[in-house]
Amino acid sequence: MVAKQPESTARARAVDIARRARETRLMTRFATGFLVLALSASGTAAERATKNVVLVLVDGLRWQEVFSGADQTLIEHEKGGVEDREALLGAYWREDAAARRAALMPFLWSTVAREGQILGDRDAGSPSTVTNGLKFSYPGYSEMLVGFHDPRIDSNAKTPNPNVTVLEFLHGRPGFAGKVAAFGVWDVVPSIVNRERCGFFVNGGFEPVLVEPISKEQALLNRLKSELPKQWQSMPPDAIAFHAMLEYTVAHAPRVLYFTFGETDEFAHEGRYDHYLDAARRTDGFLRELWEKLQSIPSHRGTTTMIVAADHGRGRGPDDWSKHNKDIEGAEEIWIAAIGPDTPPLGARSDAGPTTQSQIAATLAAALGEDWCAAEPRAAKPIAGLVR
């Protein structure tokens, strides 16, 4: 027989049991909340696969050719400077616009259109535009890299950019020191990224790549830069600069890479539509080679986002297609493409609405989970939906 406990003892025990139950419930709620936060954080990290970014600038390539392929009105001698009309028609002319653009840029319209996004088709209601109003190279290069137009940037002179670029910002972020590189076929690029201040590796124009290790291929490319006849005083052929960049990329695997092509702009200025189309086709092949090379590097396979864009457009008609400046209507019209693990595969977008060149800098940073607009409040916001 169990002795009856005093009433005060029973009450104290009941109070103690209730207190312990409340503590248990509080601990359970705390643990559950902590678990939810932890799972949420890990889920967010898992959703963003991008660890590396590449920004490629294609100087002066019109959106008209990108989305519609070769323009038949320019495949002739008077307006397009074409020497062999029949050969050019055979290479690039197709009755259907989709077939024409695929003939001109097969990588863009097979791989990128299937796995990524392309913006700037004004006929489909997806215009992309420069905001600087000047419609030539240095203002466009700078706008793309800093996210806004600085009226002090009003010429193509080799004046160091007074603004910090998104490349320089990323170089200062944890995990990116020594892992940023910029290659410009144009010899003004070192000034645009402000090599004296930025702190990362920059190569421009005819400069040799002298960073060890120097492969046999890199040594040959350095020699060719110095020995080949100079078709243009400010830049070597795209192929020389591209392969020099590719050799560096294989050796050093930069997490942030910037590269600029120039031949499309140069041949257009010369009024040679045939050479302009050929340069666009070569550029597309180089983009394929770069993308495939990045996928062969273990640290970059499946973790790299590549953005490709033009710095300005050109005139719309047969009389001004080769020109671009503040007085040329249509020279503000550009295109933008992206491919990577965090870019939804939406193809040529008609739902993107207006986008601007100034949004590219923040979009590049956002792909890495970085907020460029917080560091540079003048910068335009990222392009909605281009990267998760």
CB atoms within 10 A of CB 14: 10
Q: For residue 308, is it within any domain?
A: yes
Question: 146 with 22, same domain?
Answer: no
277 versus 5: the higher-pLDDT residue is 277
In the prediction, which pLDDT does 48 show?
87
In the prediction, which pLDDT does 36 show?
29
Q: For residue 380, is it within any domain?
A: no
Question: 134 with 256, same domain?
Answer: yes
CATH number at residue 353: 3.40.720.10
Question: 219 with 76, same domain?
Answer: yes
Give the residue numbers spanning the domain of 321. Answer: 51-375
pTM metric for this prediction: 0.88
Question: 191 with 301, same domain?
Answer: yes
Tokens of 121: 């088709």
In the prediction, which pLDDT does 78 show?
96
pLDDT tens digits for range 185-244: 999 999 999 999 999 999 999 999 999 999 999 999 999 999 999 999 999 999 999 999
Looking up tokens 């203002």, which residue turns up?
Answer: 139
In the prediction, which pLDDT does 58 show?
98
Question: Which CB contacts under 8 angstroms, 24+ apart, belong to 162-166?
Answer: 162/194, 164/194, 164/375, 164/376, 165/192, 165/193, 165/194, 165/198, 165/361, 166/361, 166/362, 166/364, 166/365, 166/372, 166/376, 166/379
Are 145 and 168 a contacting pair, CB within 8 Å?
Answer: no
In the prediction, which pLDDT does 28 show?
36
The average pLDDT across 372-388 equals 97
Inform me whether the pLDDT recorded for 25 exceeds 60.
Answer: no
Q: For residue 387, is it within any domain?
A: no
Task: Measure the CA–CA gap between 187 and 293, rounded to whole angstroms.
Answer: 25
Question: 245 with 370, same domain?
Answer: yes
Q: For residue 222, is it within any domain?
A: yes
Are 359 and 381 a contacting pair, CB within 8 Å?
Answer: yes
Inform me whether the pLDDT recorded for 160 exceeds 90.
Answer: yes
Task: Measure the CA–CA gap between 193 and 197, rounded to whole angstroms.
Answer: 8
Mean pLDDT score of the chain: 91
In the prediction, which pLDDT does 221 show?
98
Question: 34 with 79, same domain?
Answer: no
Task: Measure the CA–CA gap between 126 and 122, rounded to whole angstroms.
Answer: 5
Are 326 and 135 a contacting pair, CB within 8 Å?
Answer: yes
The average pLDDT across 77-99 equals 98
Are 294 and 42 a contacting pair, CB within 8 Å?
Answer: no
As for how many domains the chain has, the answer is 2
The average pLDDT across 266-280 equals 98
Q: Could you tell me whether strands 52-58 and 256-261 are parallel, antiparallel, or unpaired per DSSP bridges? A: parallel
Inform me whether the pLDDT recorded for 96 exceeds 50.
Answer: yes
Q: Could you tell me whether strands 304-309 and 336-339 are parallel, antiparallel, or unpaired per DSSP bridges? A: antiparallel
Question: 222 with 120, same domain?
Answer: yes
Looking up tokens 């207190």, which residue turns up?
Answer: 19
For residue 18, name the pLDDT band (cuts at 50, 70, 90).
very low
Q: Could you tell me whether strands 128-129 and 355-356 are parallel, antiparallel, or unpaired per DSSP bridges? A: parallel
Q: Which amino acid is at 376?
A: E
Task: Measure the CA–CA gap between 129 and 354, rounded to whole angstroms.
Answer: 8
In the prediction, which pLDDT does 67 show?
98
In the prediction, which pLDDT does 147 show?
98
Task: Measure the CA–CA gap between 108 and 306, rounded to whole angstroms.
Answer: 12
Give how far the C-alpha of residue 373 lies from the chain's centroid of Cα atoms, to the nearest Å: 17
In the prediction, which pLDDT does 24 show?
41
Q: Which amino acid is at 267?
A: F
The rounded percent of the chain whose pLDDT value lies above 70 is 88
Are 262 and 235 a contacting pair, CB within 8 Å?
Answer: yes
The average pLDDT across 82-104 equals 98
For residue 360, name the pLDDT band (cuts at 50, 70, 90).
very high
The average pLDDT across 268-296 equals 98
List the one residue out of 286, 278, 287 whose CA is nearest residue 239.
Answer: 286
Task: Measure the CA–CA gap between 70 and 52, rounded to whole angstroms.
Answer: 33
Q: For residue 386, is it within any domain?
A: no
Q: For residue 114, is it within any domain?
A: yes
The rounded percent of the chain whose pLDDT value lies above 90 is 87
In the prediction, which pLDDT does 42 show?
36
For residue 47, name the pLDDT band (cuts at 50, 70, 90).
confident
- Residue 116: C-alpha distances to residues 66, 335, 364 (Å): 15, 14, 15
The average pLDDT across 330-339 equals 98
Stated as kind and residue range, the H or E segment containing 114 is helix 113-115
Question: 19 with 132, same domain?
Answer: no
Question: 150 with 199, same domain?
Answer: yes
Tokens of 152: 């002090």
In sequence order, what DSSP letters do the residues of 297-336 get, joined into one string?
A: STTTTTTEEEEEE-S----SSTTTTT--STTSTTTTEE-E
Q: For residue 245, is it within any domain?
A: yes
In the prediction, which pLDDT does 388 show?
86
For residue 3, name the pLDDT band (cuts at 50, 70, 90).
very low
Q: For residue 299, is it within any domain?
A: yes
In the prediction, which pLDDT does 369 show?
97
Question: 249 with 263, same domain?
Answer: yes
Question: 165 with 209, same domain?
Answer: yes
Question: 255 with 330, same domain?
Answer: yes
Inform me whether the pLDDT recorded for 21 exceeds 70.
Answer: no
